[in-house]
Each structure stands twice: as C-alpha cells, then as structure tokens.
Structure 1
Amino acid sequence: MIIVGVDGSRTGLDAAGWAATEAALRQVPLTVAHAVPKWVCEEADGHYAEVGRWLRESAKSVLISARDRALRERPELTVETVLLPGDPRSALVKISENAELLVAGSRGVGGVRGLLVGSVAYGVAAHAVTDVVLVRARPPTPRGEIVVGVDGSPGGVRALGFAFAEAELRGTKLRAVHAWAWPHPSGFEPADRDSELDRSRELNELLAGHRERHPGVEVVPEIVHGHPVEVLREAAAEADLLVLGTHGRSQLAGMLMGSISQAMLHHAPCPLAVIRRDRA
C-alpha cells in the first residue's frame, strides 16, 4: 500500500497524481489521507457544531478531489480515502507505519487552518519509519531519468537500492552522482587526479552489486567536485525523481546526508525520495 497525504493545495493534487502512478507501477492500492483537528471529527452539539460540520464537508471535498485526480491518472487503481484526526505530521507518520511509501506535497497550504505543507514535509521526512516522497515540482511529461545521490553511508546504500528498483520499474536511466569538496577558508580546494580516481573506484564498487541485481538498468556514474546541494540540484534539473538517503556520515567524503536531504527539501527541482537508513 502507498499512502498520499493531501491538503487541498495544487501540490497536494500533484502528489496524489504521482502516488497513483507509483501505486499502479507497483500494483498496490493507494490510500488518500487528509488530517483535521480531532474535534472536527467529533459529532457534537453546541456553539461549534455548525463549524465542525462545515469543516468535515470541506475535508471530504479535499479527499474526493484527490481521489478523482488519482483515478484520472490511473483509472484501474484501487483508491481508498481516510480522514485522520489530529496533527497531520503525526497522523501521517502513524498511518504509514506499515506502508511501502508515504507521499506528500512539499509546498502549499495544508491542514484545515493554514498549516504550511513545508512543516508537514519536514515532519514526515524526519519521523516516518517508511520511505517518503515529497512532490514539489512534478515534470509534466516523463523525462526518462532518475538521479540518486551516492555517499557510501548506510542510508545512501538503501537509497541506491531504491533508485535501481525504481529505474527498473519505470524503464528509465539512472544517474548515480557523488559530489565531493574539501572545505577551505577561501572556498573549496581544487580537485586532483588521484582523488578523482579514488572516488570513481569507490563509486563503481558501490554500484557493482546493484548492477548485477538490475542488469537492465542503464547506469551513468558521475563524480562531481562541488557543493552537494548545488551538484544535486543541477543533476536533477531534468530528472523524474531525485533519491537521497538519510543519516550517517559519508564514507567517501564526509557528506552529511541528513543535512543534504533537508536542504534538498527546499531546492529539489523534481519529486524527492527520502530513503530511511533502516526499515522495520
């Protein structure tokens, strides 16, 4: 099962469309979820009864619109809707514990009372026990390439596995990008030939096992000297999906994937997959 959190915004609808395509490719059902304050879900009399009824109707409208968007993209898909009581971050994290994937929009206005989806994106990316895809900008047509950031950390290794499987599922090329740079008071130290060769060898070693398991995936390894955020943003400019791991210090160049993942929440030019280090 894939779960998509929606909020009535355009990015929420784009997330529902992206999640529908992914669910169809994986041949699993899709659940569309929307969160409202707990009191809204309670049938009650009194001063706020009418407000509660109006908010419940609004929430149902959000769910129906997202379900219809998903079915327009993939009419054959099984789609369910669920109204979640409580804070959208904790509610989505809880409901997604046994899901294959949690999808959400990363911009727009969320919840019922103006909660920024940016804060929801941060919350689910940081605390979900499943893998998360945040849809900020969705290409209007498939571009045929997935980009994965490679750093050698345990989270990065899982990200590689996810990216290879996704590329095979979609029949797309995979670009494996390792960005490296040594900090220096005046900027970054220039690259040298030996460092380039060392990193190229290490990158190909990391890719070797995945290539054997996914022989049909075309892989383009890339070693780029520069700041990881800038390198990944440029690499993903024409991609369908950017895949990053979370947590753990890089064994290749000391890159903190947690901080890079957080930065890419703001800068990713395409949907961003944040892959957990471990799955329960």
Structure 2
Amino acid sequence: MIVGTDGSAAAGAAVVWAADEAVRHGRSLRIVHVEQPWVFGLPDVPSAEFTEARAAQSGQALEEARSLAAEGRPGLEVTIENVRGDLIRTLADLAPQGTELVLGRRGHGAFADLLLGSTSLRLAGHLARPVIVVRGGTAPARGEVVVGVALDHNPKAALTFAFAAARARGAQVRAIHVWEVSDAIAPLVRDEQGFIDPLDRLADLMAPWREMNDDVKVVEELSTGQPVAVLTEVSAGADLLVVGSHGRGPLTGALLGSVGHGVLHHAHCPVAVIPTH
C-alpha cells in the first residue's frame, strides 16, 4: 500500500489508517513524501542551505510517519521514500506500484488541496488503483462498510473492494442504491421484462454476491433522495464508504463523477473511490 505524507496531522491520520489496512490485508506499507521543484509557484533555484533545509524537513516528515505506522504493529514492513517532482504526476506514477493510494483530507502546501481543490479530482477515479481519502482521525470500529450501488452500471469493482474490506474488518456490507425522485411515489425501473421495483432489482443484483461471500453479512437498502446527501448521512455510521468512478451527472466529463466528488467533500468516514475502467 502507498500513502502520501507531508507531516501534517491529516497526513498522519492517513498514515495510521493505511498502516492498519496494510496489517489487515497482510501487505507492506510504502510512505511517500513528494518534494515539489518550486516554491510559492516559482521555479526552485535554491541555495545549498535551502536545499539542505528542505531535505531535513522531508526526512523529518517521513521519519515521523514511519514511527506512526510502526507503533503497535511490530510485524508491519514499512519503507519511506522522498520523491522530487510534480505532486499530481508523481503520485499518479507511483500509484500503479501499490494496491491502493491513501491520502489525507488536507495538509500543508499543495497537499492542502487534496480534498477541496483539483488534486483529488485529478487522481480519484483516474488511476488504475483505488484512491482512499481519509477524513478525520481514527474512530472506533463501527462494523460496517457502505457501498453505493448503481443499477445501470456494472458494480463489480466497487463490490469486490467493499466485500474484501468488510471481510478484513469482520464487518457487514451495506449496499445502498439511492434513487432521485421528486415525489413520494416509490420509483420503478424498466427492464426487458417490464417494470420492477428497484429494491427487487437491487436484491437480484446482490444475490450472487451474497452467495460468493456467505461469510459476510449483507444489508440491502433503497433510499430516495439526493445521492450525496444520503451517502453522507449513512457514512456517519460506517468504517468506510466505497463508491465507483462512473463519471455521471453534471461532471460527466470527469471519471470521478458528481457523487464521488460530493462524498469526498462531505463524508464522515474514509472514502474509497474505485476505478471501474
């Protein structure tokens, strides 16, 4: 697993989350600090003293992150690496080398835009690996992984990730489909056989997943409302919120999509954005 750090508290939370996740799945952890070749938006032509100071700062951030990751996890293999380059390009190049890329909600400098700026939008959903954005600090286990399920897209990637995450935690999977309606009438969806209740369709979609994962409890839920609002509310009781990168809604041009964009801003727990391409 790969996790980015810049020495901030939010990055520290991401390191701790990634370390726990690596232990759960029996993986090693690679902690990366990206040192960008410019200062205040200008090309970096530093003096020897400045270069030495930046190297010391990077080294301190990495060593602190390694200590956080190793604390209480004696069997975890942890490596640290300082990489000089553009933040987005460097993380995008590194991501395929790991099973997933973990980032903090916000940090110092360019990392401060990981959630609220363009960085997360340019990484989540656009990489060939899951991107997890860790919001807040560590919280007591709640025993549930929530996954948003679309009825008109193949949810295989998101469901595979959600079930693996739930199994590793000993948690249940809550599969939610959110239907946007403007009235109180229960929505219907058309297929080749005619009109069926979307809750039945959700149950049919989840049936093979129940069978393949009979060791994991599954709860199916159909909610009506605005998807981001519903998923945000449910995330308050979850250990992890999993969404696919469909590229739907007003942000159709972006693979992340408006729902993924919205939950990254507002969810109460870590969010895993799973590439469907």
The alignment's TM-score, normalised by the length of structure 1, stands at: 0.85
Matching residue of 1:191: 185
Matching residue of 2:170: 171
What is the deviation of 1:190?
A: 2.1
SS at match of 1:96: helix
Match of 2:113 among 108, 113, 116: 116
Mapped pair 1:76 → 2:75: yes
What is the deviation of 1:211?
A: 1.2
Which amino acid in 1 is paired with 2:227? Answer: P
Q: Is the 8 A contact 1:155 1:246 kept in 2?
A: no
Q: Is the 8 A contact 1:147 1:242 kept in 2?
A: yes
Task: Quote the Cα distance in structure 2 between the aligned partners of 1:128 and 1:98.
Answer: 11
Q: Is the 8 A contact 1:125 1:274 kept in 2?
A: yes
Mapped pair 1:258 → 2:257: yes
Task: Quote the Cα distance in structure 2 between the aligned partners of 1:257 and 1:122.
Answer: 7
Matching residue of 1:152: 151
Task: Quote the Cα distance in structure 1 between the aligned partners of 2:46 and 2:21.
Answer: 44
Q: Is the 8 A contact 2:24 2:169 kept in 1?
A: yes
SS at match of 2:155: helix
Identity of aligned residues (%): 38
RMSD value, Cα: 2.3
Which stretches of structure 1, 4 residues or longer, exceed 6 Å deviation after superposition? none
Mapped pair 1:237 → 2:225: no
SS at match of 2:236: helix
Matching residue of 1:59: 58
SS at match of 1:274: strand
Mapped pair 1:125 → 2:148: no
Task: Quote the Cα distance in structure 2 between the aligned partners of 1:221 and 1:103.
Answer: 28
Task: Quote the Cα distance in structure 1 between the aligned partners of 2:46 and 2:209.
Answer: 60
Q: Is the 8 A contact 1:148 1:244 kept in 2?
A: yes
Query: Are residues 267 and 155 of structure 1, via their aligned partners in 2, closer, same or farther at CA, if it must alter by over 3 Å?
Result: farther
Query: Are residues 139 and 60 of structure 1, via their aligned partners in 2, closer, same or farther at CA, if it must alter by over 3 Å?
Result: closer
Task: Quote the Cα distance in structure 1 between the aligned partners of 2:46 and 2:201.
Answer: 65
Which amino acid in 2 is paired with 1:189? Answer: D
Could you list the per-position Cα deviations for residues 94-137 of structure 1 after superposition, in whole angstroms to 9, with x for gaps in the alignment?
011131111011223245xx753333333321432211110012
Task: Quote the Cα distance in structure 1 between the aligned partners of 2:187 and 2:102.
Answer: 41
Gaps of 5+ in 1: 41-45, 183-187, 251-255
Matching residue of 1:22: 21
Task: Quote the Cα distance in structure 2 between the aligned partners of 1:197 and 1:83.
Answer: 54
SS at match of 1:129: coil
Which amino acid in 2 is paired with 1:6? Answer: T
Gaps of 5+ in 2: 40-44, 190-194, 250-254
Q: Is the 8 A contact 1:233 1:268 kept in 2?
A: yes
Which amino acid in 1 is paired with 2:54? Answer: L
SS at match of 1:65: helix
Which amino acid in 1 is paired with 2:75? Answer: E
Matching residue of 1:6: 5
Q: Is the 8 A contact 1:105 1:121 kept in 2?
A: no
Query: Are residues 193 and 226 of structure 1, via their aligned partners in 2, closer, same or farther at CA, if it must alter by over 3 Å?
Result: closer
Which amino acid in 2 is paired with 1:191? Answer: I
What is the deviation of 1:235?
A: 0.9
Could you list the per-position Cα deviations for residues 16-68 of structure 1 after superposition, in whole angstroms to 9, with x for gaps in the alignment?
0010111111111100001012479xxxxx96211111011000111111111
Task: Quote the Cα distance in structure 2 between the aligned partners of 1:30 and 1:246.
Answer: 25
Matching residue of 1:185: none
